[in-house]
Chain A
């Protein structure tokens, strides 16, 4: 256990549903990330939060909406998703402010959009 917990581990949703993914880190880190991992593709960075402010949004469709209420929690709100959004969504955290900002990953949420 690396101290980054994601829930749920698996999620099946229809294209008209609204759901949220949750990430919690117990490492005292000040930066959190959302990644999308699809088959045969590199890990794609979606959002970065540093000190609870969004500092990166990699041209992610508006049907994905992140929220970072505090430095320990990160959410990804989902609505009107498409089948191609089916993937493993990984959360990570790191402690910024110096060299070697190692990112620690959660176990991911396996999302299937029907």
Chain B
């Protein structure tokens, strides 16, 4: 089955700096890679996702890159703000039409943005 590794487990940055979280996956058939943000005591929420037919996707201060050859993908947050402090999870999945999506999650990265 799929195995997803995520690094680092904790990350502390100063407000305004950039943060990068990296994930690797094992199953070359995986073709969908979402990122979830979980604030303390709250539910995981999707912040951005990427499909295997693109190499990069950007949404305001958040971007995700995908290297299919190396089987790794990364989350980039620029101009970090205190409200970015949370646990971030990457995931990988094989998406097929008509089937339930079975996500394999990484272990999470706790991001702390300090003033």
Contact = CB atoms under 8 A, between A and B. Distances in A.
A80 interface: no
Contact of B43 (A50, A98, A99, A108): A108
21 contacts: A4-B43, A33-B100, A42-B6, A42-B104, A43-B91, A45-B103, A48-B100, A50-B99, A55-B99, A56-B100, A94-B101, A96-B100, A96-B101, A99-B51, A100-B32, A100-B51, A101-B95, A103-B46, A103-B103, A104-B46, A105-B44
Interface residues of A, number: 29
B89 A42 contact: yes
Q: Dominant SS at the A interface?
A: loop
- Greatest chain A CB density within 10 A among B45, B89, B105 is at B105
Interface in A89-113: 90, 94, 96-108
Nearest to A102: B46
A31 B97 CA distance: 13
A45 B102 contact: yes
Given A45-B104, A55-B100, 15 more contacts: A4-B43, A31-B100, A31-B101, A33-B100, A41-B107, A42-B6, A50-B99, A90-B44, A94-B101, A97-B97, A98-B97, A99-B51, A100-B95, A104-B46, A105-B45
Interface string B68-109: 000000000000000000000101000101111111111110
A2 interface: yes
B61 interface: no
Interface of B: 4, 6, 32, 34, 36, 42-46, 49, 51, 89, 91, 95, 97-108
A102 B42 contact: no
Nearest to B6: A42
Contact of A96 (B89, B98, B103): B98
